[in-house]
Amino acid sequence: MKVTVVGAGAVGASCAEYIAIKNFASEVVILDIKEGYAEGKAMDLMQCASLNGFDTKITGSTNDYSKTANSDICVITSGIPRKPGMTREELIGINAGIVKTVSTSLVEHSPNTIIIVVSNPMDTMTYLVHKTTGLPKHRIIGMGGALDSARFKYRLAEALEAPISDVDGMVIGGHSDKGMVPLTSHATRNSIKVSEFLSEERLNQVKEDTKVGGATLTKLLGTSAWYAPGAAVSGLVQAIACDQKKIFPCSALLDGEYGLSDLCIGVPVILGRKGIEKIVDVPLSAAEKAHMVESAEGVKKTNGLLEL
């Protein structure tokens, strides 16, 4: 199992570290455009191997895509991160060109790969990879919902004063501050609906805190978060590599599902060795349906800025 991570910044390096620690991949290649940067990150991570008990081989390369050849899974984290006050959509001008070049180069050397897109605005970048590479739609996956759901569960556990292991919840829709659709109607604490424990007002606060989860961290850190995004990506990679058939909300190209077509947006999917093995249709409340439609309109508006 060979995994390539493009972008040796904080998210990319965090992703590579979590993949290595989980010890399911034989090789992880980190690639970056900055001279020596990926090699340095790879060396630093390899010096953790004996300390953290993993045998995954991690190598770094400065923009040499031949080193990524025959990768089973490729993760695209490259591009500029958010700064305080920026929306994910504002990154499109620079990141679209980067993602287009990266995805083309990856497929040239690994035509059978599965691509996971992390770069923002993620749903639009995932759509761009579909249009650029022409890969089958089950082999292109956008990572946003897994991270948003982790943030949702964090906020739910905080409100419930419960351990996170007791809480389950999912966020679908666009990976943006306004586009996220936290599914409070399906959120549970040990199989009991959270609405049994929390008032509607408190649940609405959880939803709003979840939607601005990334912006909150960007304001505190001065740049985008990296630990939770890296962990979320590693979860998707492991589900695919180990054929786990796990359900994650991911940005997928829709063709009528949820009444939507010709866009990538977060929906529940089953991930296995083929990538997206099934899109799962979850019943939504009237408010959630309306929010999903509104979210899709926002994604399509951002897609319209692409030069395809």
Binding residues for NAD(+): 7-12, 32, 95, 118-120
E strand segments, the chain: 2-6, 27-32, 57-62, 73-76, 114-117, 140-142, 167-168, 171-173, 180-182, 188-189, 192-193, 246-255, 261-272, 275-279
CA distances from 227 to 15, 70, 155 (A): 8, 27, 17
Question: Can you read off the two tokens belonging to residue 275?
Answer: 């990538």
**Sequence ranges of the binding site:** 7-12, 32, 82, 88, 95, 118-120, 151
User: Angle 200-211/213-221 helices, nearest 10 degrees?
Assistant: 50
- The yes-or-no answer on residue 175 being catalytic is yes
Q: Which sign does the torsion angle of CA 96, 98, 99, 105 carry?
A: positive
The one catalytic residue among 130, 138, 175, 186: 175
**Sequence ranges of the binding site for substrate:** 82, 88, 120, 151
Catalytic residues, which ones?
Answer: 175
